[in-house]
Amino acid sequence: MPRRTALAALAATALALTACGGSTDGAGPAPAPSAAGDAFPVTVEHIWGETTVPERPERVVALGVTDADPLLAMGVVPVAVTPFVFYADTKGVGPWAEDLFGDVDPEVFTSAEVDVEAVAALAPDLVVAVSAGFDEAVYQQLSAIAPTLVRPEGTVAYGVDRDTATRMIAQAVGEEARGEELIADADQAFADALAAHPELAGATGTAALYSGGTYYAFLPADARGRVLGDLGITSPEAVLAEDTGDSFYVELSAERLDLLDGDVLVVLTDPGSVATVEADALLAQVPVVADGGLVVDAGDVRGAMSHNTVLSAPYLAENLTPLLSAALGATA
């Protein structure tokens, strides 16, 4: 049975912030692992140096909250995952990827802290933590267990873009050609969606999280912010002005909700808070909300935006663009 660790309230909020049954159209079956033995050993550079993978890994632990998606898409089924909190009771992934586990029931780590001993007990031959936020001390502990892949130099925690993450992971598992195919497919899914909804191009909008009574505006460094960019929607200048380069979101007090104004606003939250957001009198005063440009989601659109992976992109193209189009129509 998967390992379930109770989350403290602060850990739940941290995982909800991290850059995090529906249709699975577009995902397709995972390919069988290719004969990639000739690719090894491979060395991947990252923020704390470089990691060498001596041979094709067979027991992979995915510690990054979105890292299971590209692994599964390349035919590598992780033995353990660390999911966003809202997928902690499944196999740790969204509906676009869950079937790719087949009969494998992975260990599911739901603590915000890395349990190094639990990772070691799984005897991994690769730890993938590209979309994770632990520090170098934890990296050194994990590296003593198995080759460990972390985010590249010049990125913030949880701020690695879809293409970079896919290429790093593809290199580590010897599936670079497949990685490029997956990137092209994801890009095409967004391009097709934008072609079908040209009204999105040039609009301004923000993706934000509502949690614990506070709104957090996601910056373009975050997966959720990048989804809107993929669909032709740019962040408002007021939000961009708050970007210090060391985080992926801006915390907004009640007095600063005006920063969320634009042509569309997407608020992601948990199911129990949807009514609270929709009835928020202060939020209702923001012009984009007053004009009907608010999209609130607590389901798999939220999950797919939080992931923004090569597997969740087709899901978003199909399920998010109609919501954005309707919201833009209301504010036109």
Residue of 304, 219, 221 whose CA lies nearest to 22: 304
Which of the residue ranges 17-26, 119-128, 153-162 would you say has the lowest mean pLDDT?
A: 17-26
Domain boundary among 188, 220, 255: 188
Looking only at the bridges linking them, the beta strands covering 264-268 and 294-297 are parallel
Residues 261 and 323 in one domain: yes
Residues 141 and 249 in one domain: no
Q: What angle is formed at CA 300 by the lines to CA 20 and CA 2, rounded to 5 degrees?
A: 65
Is residue 2 in a domain? no
Is residue 4 in a domain? no
pLDDT digits (tens, 9 = 90+) for 236-288: 999 999 998 878 899 999 999 999 999 999 999 999 999 999 999 999 999 99
Is residue 171 in a domain? yes
What are the phi and psi torsion angles at 10 (to 5°)? -65, -35
What local confidence, expressed as pLDDT, does residue 15 receive? 46
pLDDT digits (tens, 9 = 90+) for 210-231: 999 999 999 988 889 999 999 9
Place of tokens 């939000």: 239
Domain boundary among 130, 154, 188: 188
Q: Residues 157, 159, 162, 163: is their CA dihedral positive or negative?
A: negative
What are the phi and psi torsion angles at 104 (to 5°)? -75, 130
pLDDT digits (tens, 9 = 90+) for 57-85: 999 999 999 999 999 999 999 999 999 98
Domain boundary among 143, 170, 188: 188
What local confidence, expressed as pLDDT, does residue 90 receive? 85
- Please report, for residues 47, 132, 141, 181, 326, the alpha-carbon distance to residue 135 in angstroms, rounded to integers and kept in the order given: 11, 9, 10, 32, 42
Residues 256 and 302 in one domain: yes
More confident residue, 170 or 18: 170
Average pLDDT, the chain: 89
Model confidence at 5: pLDDT above 60: no
Residue ranges of alpha helices (H) inside the chain are 9-17, 68-73, 116-121, 136-143, 162-172, 176-196, 223-230, 237-240, 274-278, 281-284, 287-290, 300-307, 312-319, 321-331
Residues 18 and 161 in one domain: yes
Q: Which two tokens stand for residue 52?
A: 């060498």
Q: Quick one: average pLDDT of 43-57?
A: 97
Model confidence at 233: pLDDT above 60: yes
- Other beta carbons within 10 angstroms of residue 1's beta carbon come to 6
Q: Please state the domain count of the chain.
A: 2
Helix, strand or coil, per DSSP, at residue 139 = helix
Spatial distance between the Cα atoms of 266 and 209, rounded to a whole number of angstroms:
8
CATH number at 148 reads: 3.40.50.1980
- Tell me which residue range forms the domain holding 36: 9-188
Spatial distance between the Cα atoms of 268 and 210, rounded to a whole number of angstroms:
6
On whether the CB atoms of residues 266 and 274 are closer than 8 A, the answer is no
Spatial distance between the Cα atoms of 199 and 46, rounded to a whole number of angstroms:
39
What local confidence, expressed as pLDDT, does residue 156 receive? 85
What local confidence, expressed as pLDDT, does residue 28 receive? 39
- Percent share of the chain, pLDDT over 90: 81
Helix, strand or coil, per DSSP, at residue 264 = strand
DSSP string spanning 4-63? --PPPHHHHHHHHH-------TTT-PPPPPP--GGG-SEEEEETTEEEEE-S--SSEEE-
